[in-house]
């Protein structure tokens, strides 16, 4: 089906996310419409809404026919259990206390650097990154009369950019799963690694954070907040019982180091040839086991309590797992429909190729802003962008980097982003105050990035 109807599913997805601001509904509507179009494509002349629904459900079930896809879904659930174990054990609070009592932060600059580098080190998961850095630093920010809005900006603008640059985490595994359906010039892992120097928004965002921390200067709405730090405080505070720092450190270190080890192992000694979905699943499972054993042997938790904690954590991530499931199904369906091929033809005939990366960055920004999720944005745009690479010979690293950067930028600007909300909670900053003070910095980074992709398109295409 090489006609305009093939672009209807992604258009419907974009309309729904702007209208309802709900990515799960948008992905389901797009998937259902794609399956109905596929029924007509294969010659089914008579079908009912029920047949379209059945085809949609079978497409979702078909996701599990891929071992890699199934690993990603299981990993997404296990991350919820791991985070729940870390919270319940009090390991995060204990680590905070240890660092503070050690005299590591004794000036505003050192406090800011501590927040930044904590977010860098905890690159495994964006929410874990902001929770750790926020809880670690907010008391110190109060001591040096720095606003909670500044803390919220630092941890929010560090977490996602770091996660998308240091890809030994769920972000990398998820993107690898989305890339698995396309025959790219290089391996999916090599392509993903190649996006690192081209992910201009993530790099610019981190540079802006470092400038703010080192110089101590703030601008615009954030400068206003600095003049009245108490006004940025939220009404609630996060309290966790302190136990031992090892309850957080050991599982986290297990996950980081074992993930690297499993990448080497599954790649027969080559890191870039490693299997991302296997490595991240094995490492997360091992980290969960370590966390379980630590808490069980402490004598404070029974087996049933730990199981309940783990499943509660999994339940918190069910919306994310649903997004992953629908996005994988939609990517397969759109590939069968030929959406990417048709759009590639339109781009080749009507748009200068050099501007394609900038336009994909812009599209990703709009979708991510409207939905509050970068992962859902990747699910919509990667099935569109990768066929452009295959059919038009565009640089895969540049196209993918533009999509990833757009997803992160829109997420930074969005008041309905989960990372925005968690950053506010972790820092103890009012949500709307955080959105208002971070937006100017994100917009500056977004404009510079758009220009950078135009220049990169002129140079590389």
The SS3 call for residue 103 is: coil
Using one digit for the tens of pLDDT, what is the confidence trace for 317-327? Answer: 788 788 888 88
Could you count the other beta carbons within 10 Å of the beta carbon of residue 197?
11
Q: According to the per-residue pLDDT averaged within each range, which of 69-83, 110-124, 431-445 is highest?
A: 431-445
Q: Residue 282's closest CA among 248, 249, 257? A: 257
DSSP string of 241-302? Answer: ----THHHHHHHHHHHHHHHHHHHHHTTT-GGGS-HHHHHHHHHHHHHHHHHHHHHHTTS--
Strand partners, 233: 429
The SS3 call for residue 334 is: helix
On average, the pLDDT of the chain sits at 84
Strand partners, 429: 233
pTM, full prediction: 0.73
What is the Cα gyration radius of the chain?
A: 22
Tokens encoding 328? 């994988």
DSSP string of 53-75? Answer: HHHHHHHHHHGGGSHHHHHHHHH
Using one digit for the tens of pLDDT, what is the confidence trace for 359-417? Answer: 999 988 888 886 667 888 888 888 888 888 888 888 999 999 999 999 999 888 887 67
Find the Cα–Cα–Cα–Cα dihedral 307, 310, 313, 317, rounded to 10°: -110
Q: According to the per-residue pLDDT averaged within each range, which of 6-20, 128-142, 202-216, 243-257 is highest?
A: 202-216
Distance CA 182, CA 385 (A): 11
Distance CA 340, CA 381 (A): 10
């Amino acid at each position: 089906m090489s006609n305009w109807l093939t672009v209807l599913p992604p258009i419907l997805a974009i309309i729904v996310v702007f209208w309802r601001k709900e990515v799960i509904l948008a992905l389901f509507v797009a998937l259902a419409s794609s399956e109905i179009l596929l029924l007509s494509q294969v010659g089914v002349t008579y079908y009912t809404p029920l047949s379209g629904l059945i085809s949609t459900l079978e497409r979702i079930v078909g996701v599990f026919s891929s071992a890699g896809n199934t690993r990603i879904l299981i990993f997404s659930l296990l991350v919820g259990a791991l985070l729940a174990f870390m919270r319940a054990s009090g390991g995060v609070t204990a680590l905070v206390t240890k660092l503070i009592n050690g005299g590591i932060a004794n000036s505003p600059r050192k406090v800011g650097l501590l927040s930044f580098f904590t977010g860098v080190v905890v690159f495994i998961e964006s929410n874990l990154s902001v929770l750790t850095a926020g809880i670690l630093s907010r008391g110190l920010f109060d001591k040096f009369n720095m606003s909670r809005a500044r803390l919220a900006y630092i941890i929010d603008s560090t977490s996602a950019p770091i996660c998308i640059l240091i890809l030994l985490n769920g972000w990398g595994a998820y993107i690898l799963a989305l890339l698995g359906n396309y025959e790219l010039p290089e391996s999916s892992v090599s392509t993903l690694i190649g996006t690192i120097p081209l992910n201009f928004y993530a790099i610019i965002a981190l540079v802006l954070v470092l400038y703010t921390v080192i110089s101590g200067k703030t601008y615009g709405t954030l400068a206003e907040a600095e003049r009245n730090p108490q006004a940025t405080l939220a009404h609630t505070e996060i309290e966790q019982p302190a136990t031992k720092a090892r309850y957080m450190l050991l599982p986290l270190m297990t996950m980081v180091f074992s993930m690297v080890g499993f990448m080497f192992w599954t790649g027969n000694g080559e890191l870039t040839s490693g299997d991302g979905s296997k490595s991240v699943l094995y490492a997360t499972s091992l980290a969960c086991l370590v966390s379980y054993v630590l808490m069980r042997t402490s004598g404070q938790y029974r087996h049933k309590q730990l199981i309940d904690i783990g499943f509660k954590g999994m339940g918190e991530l069910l919306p994310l797992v649903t997004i992953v499931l629908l996005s994988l199904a939609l990517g397969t369906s759109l590939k069968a429909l030929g959406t990417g091929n048709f759009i590639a033809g339109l781009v080749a005939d009507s748009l200068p190729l050099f501007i394609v990366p900038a336009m994909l960055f812009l599209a990703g920004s709009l979708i991510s802003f409207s939905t509050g999720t970068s992962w859902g944005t990747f699910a919509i745009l990667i099935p569109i962008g990768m066929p452009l690479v295959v059919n038009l010979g565009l640089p895969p690293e540049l196209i993918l980097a533009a999509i990833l950067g757009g997803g992160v930028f829109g997420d930074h600007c969005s008041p309905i982003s989960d990372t925005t909300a968690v950053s506010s909670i972790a820092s103890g900053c009012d949500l709307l105050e955080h959105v208002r003070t971070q937006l100017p910095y994100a917009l500056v980074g977004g404009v510079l990035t758009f220009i950078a992709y135009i220049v990169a398109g002129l140079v590389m295409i």
